[in-house]
Amino acid sequence: MRRPPTALLALVLPPAFLWQSAPQGNLEVTHVRYGVDNLQIRGLVCAPRTFRPGRPLLMLEHGGFSSEPSLELCRRFAEQGYVVAQSAYRGQGGSQGQVEACMGEVRDSRALQRLVQDRYLTSKVGFLGVSLGGCVALKAAAGQSGVGAVVTLISPTDFAEQVGILQRTRPDAVNRWHQIFGGSPQDNPQAYAQRSPLAAAARVKAPLMVVAADQDPLIPVSQSCRVRDVRRKAGFRVLEVRLNRQGEPYRGELKAWRRCAGERPLGQLPPLRGEDVLLHYGDLFHTSTPQMWNAAEQFLAAYLQPRR
């Protein structure tokens, strides 16, 4: 079954919408330009070439202030049967506007989600956010009833704390944060507080996996512990798992500040039956590994059930 021709869709899409598709093997890769807040935003969409209504949509939320959508990740998940969408976000990847750090970027993501859902007639939607993209994922997913699963990888939740860490470890990066946030945390505390995804995390209705690196010098594990606490307070059951970089049970010792209070972690991922998972990697710093990505894929697939 083939999707409706682009020429027909152009009659009903917003005038700012531009859709340029090309086949790449068994996938269709599409570069998108769409309008949000009077800005032209760029995006990337990958999907199996065989059109099948009801495929799950995966929103990939990239990190950083100068990152771009990843064709490699887009293809990787589309090969598994997802329709995959990535917004470049305002101020990044050739989009108009300025970086806002988990504010306007959330609207950019939601707008692309709606466009792709309408074009591909998708079913459930999942979110996978990396670093700063984890904040976008939580806010974009919050309150939505059609979300099947959300995963965040090595993602901050306290931006004032982040700036304090950068002042000690990477002072060269602090000015960029101050420019985006309108000053330091002391100068403009509200700007930092309103970007926190913790309130949004409580309103995510779907199972949530939070992946943390316990040795991370830039994003303390305590920030992921706060997500756990917020979810439990909202009534969700959160299981904790601690592995090493190979995906085996972590056997080392950890200082108190590299653990969550009252934790009782398992040594392997349990059968997934609707619970949240806080997945710790006891020997990882600020990085991702193939095993980490595999765990994210496993969690998403359990609830979104893609078919090639």
Residue 89 lies in a domain: yes
Distance from C-alpha of 174 to C-alpha of 179, rounded to nearest angstrom: 9
Inform me whether the pLDDT recorded for 13 exceeds 60.
Answer: no
Inform me whether the pLDDT recorded for 11 exceeds 60.
Answer: no
Residue 72 exposure: Cα atoms within 13 Å on the Cβ side:
2
Residue 206 lies in a domain: no
pLDDT tens digits along 107-145: 999 999 999 999 999 999 999 999 999 999 999 999 999
Distance from C-alpha of 289 to C-alpha of 274, rounded to nearest angstrom: 25
Residue 72 lies in a domain: yes
Residue 1 lies in a domain: yes
Distance from C-alpha of 230 to C-alpha of 240, rounded to nearest angstrom: 14
Residue 33 lies in a domain: yes
Inform me whether the pLDDT recorded for 3 exceeds 60.
Answer: no
Residue 64 lies in a domain: yes
Residue 136 lies in a domain: no
Mean pLDDT score across all residues of the chain: 93
Rg (the chain; Cα; Å)? 19
Residue 111 lies in a domain: yes
Residue 58's domain is classified under what CATH number? 3.40.50.1820
Least confident of 128-132, 145-149, 170-174, 218-222: 170-174
Number of domains in the chain: 1
Which domain, by its residues, includes 66?
1-123
DSSP H or E run through 203: none
